[in-house]
A and B are shown apart, each in its own frame.
Chain A
Amino acid sequence: MLILVVVVPIAMGLAALAVPSARYRPWLVPAGGVLHASLAVVILTTDLGQPMFASWLAIGALGRVLLGFVSAQFLVCSFYAPGYLALRPERSNRMFCAALLVLLGTMTLVVVSHHLGLMWVAVETSTLATAPLIYFNQNPRSLEATWKYLLIGSVGIALALFGSLFLAYAAVHAGLDSSLLFEDLVRDAPRLSKPWLHSAFVVLVVGYGTKIGLAPMHTWKPDAYGEAPGLVGALLAGGLTSCAFCALLRFVQICYAAGDGALARQLLLALGLVSMAVAAVFMARQRDYKRMLAYSSVEHMGIIAFGIGIGGLGTFGALLHLVNNGFAKGVMFLTAGNIHRAFGSKTTDGVSGAIRRVPASGGLFLAGFLAVTASPPFGLFLSELTILKAAFAGGHYWPAGVFVALLAIVFLGMASTVLGVVQGTPPAAASGRYRESVLVVAPPVVFLGLVLVLGLYVPDWLHRALVDAAAFVETAAAGGLRP
């Protein structure tokens, strides 16, 4: 069953290459999303999701949360695709639709693979699958963005492999069967050679951190998110970075199981704060609102890393934040895409008065801004508050103080750009033929609704799943797999 949830989207993606009609091809994407979501629901609610291929594919507590999240996020985004592609009839959408579906398959594979080598292959493939998506606009700027993304991403992946090899060496040196199966590594973790484990973790943080977009390995993000279509930005910022984080978390779990969590925590704490600081600096006076969203993604990945670095309740908060952030980014990127279509410009020089020109998208953009900067009653407020509470409870007063200060700076920086986009009068050149259709407005509304609901009331099943996942991460040795 687990194999289906990976293979079906990829097969549909390859099928999309063969569909001749450009009008109907985009509908394969929501079809794939629906199929994937149904498979995910089946796996999560029944016990059909058994480990396969000698536990190469398996789904544990962390995997359940992420599978559900990825599936939900793609489902909502996928309904945006036909509407968006209908607005871009001048481009061929063959590669785009195929890549979207293949991306879904590879993201799922990252989440469900418990063989770290296979997981690495999945991350690599997702990088390659994303390249044509970023290049959709096919102008010099998007070419530059794709080049940087591919180069930096490939280096990160290579370093991740390097780190995995270090880990294997640690196992071999301890006289163990060198296996890259997650269960084996967690079980044998206390016996792994410590210097190798430490070196492995540092290299892995740099490698997978590149894919997550933690500073200082984030330099591809502003360009890639800035030049890619809004839909792609939503999927990357919400889905792919979360999957990369899941990959990193596996290694964090191994460190915890080895009793060596201190290094992991300190590193993630530091990188989290650095990412937030970088985001705060670069968001000030940012005139390009898509790049601003990219830096926001860097910031939120930093927050999640900070949460994991705090540990305990912080891990729960971080995982809750991962889900909230994914949905909030969905709102922001999709509406940013709409605004871009409406005004034909990506900077505040060419865009103003969005709330008048495209009321739905402008309003959603503003509401999304409030959500992303963690204003109550949205969900991110709850998750960030949880992380802060955990920080104070753990005695990390100075980091918590810096955390709050940076959040405030980010709020100010983002506000100036967002308000510049939303308020004012639309420039004369902006009255185009763009009309808001249901298909491009409904998905952001759904995302916003989800974030709002999560802020007001976290459903029991979700709460339990997150608690289980957090416990799984913290005490991986005892956690084991859930059928």
Chain B
Amino acid sequence: MHPIFDPLLVLILLLNLFVLGSSRLRSVIGASALQGVALGMLTMTAHGELTLDVVLVALAAVAIKGIVIPRLLHKAMRDVAIEREVEPLIGFIPSLLAGALGTALAVIFSETLPLLPAHKGSLILPSSFATVLTGFIILTTRRKAITQVVGYLILENGIFIMGLALLDAMPFLVEVGVLLDLFVAIFVMGIIINHISREFRSTDVARLSSLKEE
């Protein structure tokens, strides 16, 4: 592995914690964009040699996760004119603690699994699990639809990292599949958020509570 591999993974872990603790939507979207760029760089350094498809996938990752999707989210943010996330279901500080705990658990759990020799001592699997867990926490505890979409983004980033771990064995089908899946899903979600904002004049999903058991 390239020496920059592990520091990039640490950066991704830090960005996870940042998104968990931040309430400003602009920085949250920016952090997920930065994660996308880091993933692109990870892709290029994961493989031993730089073949054409490696470069293409890396560029696609940077383009879609780092530029296109943050653009869409910023546009959605402007359309509904919100800037800040309200206090989430479990509060910002408990979210931070949950994320930190999740990272620690991810490290412990990946130690218990039998690893390929290339992955022993590397951060790749723990950071994949930790990122998926972070995305999950954000999805389930935030109130604004845009933040939930960012949580979904981070979940997919975690899966992307896992795909990178399998790079030598499996073709890039997985990476391409995830990228495509992400793009389409976010696009559709963006449309929905648009509709939500028009119907409800806000994207506070706590308002989406008329459907519940009486």
Contacts and interface: CB of A to CB of B under 8 A. Distances in A.
A148 B148 CA distance: 11
Nearest to B136: A155
Nearest to B168: A172
B211 A147 contact: no
Contacts of A459: none
Interface string A152-163: 001101100110
A144 B204 CA distance: 11
A178 B167 CA distance: 11
Interface in A170-197: 171-173, 177-178, 180, 193, 195-196
B93 to A, nearest CB: 25
B165 interface: yes
Contacts of B174: 117, 161, 165
Contacts of A147: 145, 192, 196, 205, 208
B113 A144 contact: no
Interface centre among A161, A180, A199, A227 (most CB of B within 10 A): A161
Contacts of A214: none
Contacts of B152: 151, 154-155, 158
Contact of B169 (A155, A168, A226, A286): A168
A396 to B, nearest CB: 31
B210 interface: yes
B189 A173 contact: no
B21 to A, nearest CB: 22
Nearest to A145: B211
A117 B163 CA distance: 13
Given A150-B192, A178-B169, A143 B159 contact: no
Contacts of B213: 222, 282, 286
Nearest to A161: B159
Contacts of B159: 158, 161-162, 165
B114 A195 contact: yes
Contact of A124 (B112, B181, B210): B181
Q: Summarize B's interface: helix, strand, loop or mixed.
A: helix
A446 interface: no
Contacts of A282: 213
Interface residues of B, number: 41
Contact of B211 (A173, A180, A223): A223
A199 B116 CA distance: 16
Contact of A143 (B136, B162, B199): B199
B136 to A, nearest CB: 8
B54 interface: no
Given A148-B208, A150-B189, A150-B192, A140 B173 contact: no
A173 B156 contact: no
A154 B185 contact: yes
Nearest to B200: A140
Contact of B139 (A141, A155, A178, A227): A155
A205 to B, nearest CB: 16
Interface of A: 117, 120-121, 124, 128, 131, 139-141, 143-148, 150-151, 154-155, 157-158, 161-162, 165-166, 168-169, 171-173, 177-178, 180, 193, 195-196, 199, 222-223, 226-227, 282, 286-287
Interface of B: 112-116, 132, 136, 139, 145, 148, 152, 155-156, 158-159, 162-163, 165-166, 169-170, 173-174, 177-178, 181, 184-185, 188-189, 192, 195-196, 199-200, 205, 208, 210-211, 213-214
20 contacts: A120-B177, A128-B185, A128-B188, A140-B210, A141-B211, A147-B196, A150-B189, A151-B189, A154-B152, A155-B139, A158-B152, A162-B159, A165-B162, A172-B170, A177-B169, A178-B166, A178-B169, A193-B114, A195-B114, A223-B211
Q: Closest 4 CB pairs between A and B?
A: A178-B169, A144-B208, A172-B169, A223-B211
